[in-house]
Structure 1
């Protein structure tokens, strides 16, 4: 039972953190800064098993994203765990350019730490502790698997190009290649519907996307949990706009597991946009010395 609970939490937390790809377009001619501060409840089969938080800062050229979570409720009697992750990078009009990623997680007397950077779109300086043990049935992660990918946190946000409806079908049309430091996998998204959602500090329309999972490398052949996730047709993410932008962030995630549905849903959701303009430069008059002449 402890394994099933912790496995469900990890699966749900992964989908909360990697719900898509991010890029940026300015919402106006003036530069601006957007902040999202969200708090989530995590439930499994209707019972609380965890809490999570997400903070995102974006502007015309940069982004930072940070998430944290811990096991709570009835689950803490059979297992324990907490973790955090963060990333930063540059933003273009089409896609992010990740700069760095780091995460730590601990539970049941086990700890893992991962960090890496990016150079010209490729993962550089990868550090994983403890080092994964080599196994003959594990699909090797090669150099090509670490190119043109997003880290999990940089993949937590979506951009909807153009000027159309931000929560329309176009928001979901994408396949996101992700490398988390150990595994390489793809997440695919398809439009399901629009839905009204509400939490403390927010009420509005969400776009609901079906989620598909495909393992690429880093996993062991024949693993039943991988097969289950690849065949899982009951995974979805609810996305809502970050204020003042065409960027979407996760509001809710639902993942079917063998022991019930894991749901991560915002209970408070604050998003603010602050327009910033260059300070006015005072007109320069004659200096005191010149005026005396």
Structure 2
């Protein structure tokens, strides 16, 4: 899970069930498999808890299958914040991961929906201003971290799509544009019922190198589909399946478990 794999990080974060404000504490768990060209390459597990108007989410991600022969990556992810109306307001996000012997960390602090600080270890290399789209202060307001960016508050399945989500992953600011594709149904451990699938457009805004082929492909040619399911009666919809086409093949994230634990 390298920092350059922005969409992979976002897709790994789709396992993030959340909830609207509630007096009684609630807990949820999601277990996901990440596959590339039909082969399992990673596992992800996320546990979340909600009490009043606060939320906290903890997750772990690790390489699986043949991927461990080439890039043995393991990491933990955490996010916490408040719920204001139907909007999440992150307060802190942290990702610690290790690929082989190389350890990396991303830490983001928020206040009132805006980024106040970002720490990345190891520090990014010096950027060439001629081909680098730098972040502006305005790019870092009303944004969500990768764990919260793909969770949707809506009144019904019909209203999940048709929105733009502002994502910040510690380096790049991107817009995730959701448009309606279809309805369906699914059955996994903890959930059996209706789903809605949105097509997701990926639009880099700042914090990236111009004319980068991989990003141009994701923006102009990639097909990204995300299927959402309701999380109990909370009014929240979390991804239960996601797929993205890349220059070298198709990546999918599929839930094997999607349920309330309390």
Q: Residues 10 and 187 of structure 1: is their aligned pair in 2 closer, same or farther, counting only changes over 3 Å?
A: closer
Deviates more, 1:203-212 or 1:105-114: 105-114
Task: Provide Cα deviations, 1:152-192, integer angstroms capped at 9, x if missing partner.
Answer: 1122421004xxxx222x11121011111111111010111
Could you say which residue in structure 2 is the equivalent of 1:277? Answer: none
Could you say which residue in structure 2 is the equivalent of 1:85? Answer: 77
Q: Residues 46 and 79 of structure 1: is their aligned pair in 2 closer, same or farther, counting only changes over 3 Å?
A: same
Whether 2:243 is the aligned partner of 1:254: answer yes
Secondary structure in structure 2 of the residue aligned to 1:73: coil
Secondary structure in structure 2 of the residue aligned to 1:209: strand
Whether 2:157 is the aligned partner of 1:167: answer yes
Could you say which residue in structure 2 is the equivalent of 1:48? Answer: 40
Note the C-alpha offset of 1:241: 1.2
Greater fraction of residues in strand: 2
The CA distance in 2 between the partners of 1:172 and 1:143, in whole Å, is 28
Secondary structure in structure 2 of the residue aligned to 1:105: strand
Larger radius of gyration: 1
Note the C-alpha offset of 1:272: 4.5
Higher relative contact order (CA 8 A, sep 6+): 1
Deviates more, 1:218-227 or 1:123-132: 123-132
The CA distance in 2 between the partners of 1:36 and 1:22, in whole Å, is 8
Structure-2-length-normalised TM-score: 0.90
Whether 2:119 is the aligned partner of 1:123: answer no
Whether 2:146 is the aligned partner of 1:152: answer yes
Whether 2:104 is the aligned partner of 1:112: answer yes
Could you say which residue in structure 2 is the equivalent of 1:211? Answer: 200
Q: RMSD value over aligned CA atoms?
A: 2.5
Deviates more, 1:263-272 or 1:44-53: 263-272
Secondary structure in structure 2 of the residue aligned to 1:150: coil
Note the C-alpha offset of 1:9: 7.4
Whether 2:13 is the aligned partner of 1:17: answer yes
The CA distance in 2 between the partners of 1:175 and 1:20, in whole Å, is 18
Could you say which residue in structure 2 is the equivalent of 1:264? Answer: 253
| Unmatched runs of 5 consecutive residues or more in structure 1 | 274-293
Note the C-alpha offset of 1:10: 6.2
The CA distance in 1 between the partners of 2:180 and 2:38, in whole Å, is 25
Aligned residues: 260
- The ranges of structure 1 where at least 4 consecutive aligned residues each deviate by more than 3 angstroms after the TM superposition are 5-13, 18-23
The CA distance in 1 between the partners of 2:17 and 2:29, in whole Å, is 19
Secondary structure in structure 1 of the residue aligned to 2:133: coil
Structure-1-length-normalised TM-score: 0.81
| Unmatched runs of 5 consecutive residues or more in structure 2 | none
Could you say which residue in structure 2 is the equivalent of 1:285? Answer: none
Note the C-alpha offset of 1:120: 2.6
Given candidates 27, 30, 35, the residue that maps to 1:38 is 30
Note the C-alpha offset of 1:249: 1.2
Q: Residues 195 and 238 of structure 1: is their aligned pair in 2 closer, same or farther, counting only changes over 3 Å?
A: same
Note the C-alpha offset of 1:142: 2.3
Secondary structure in structure 2 of the residue aligned to 1:149: coil
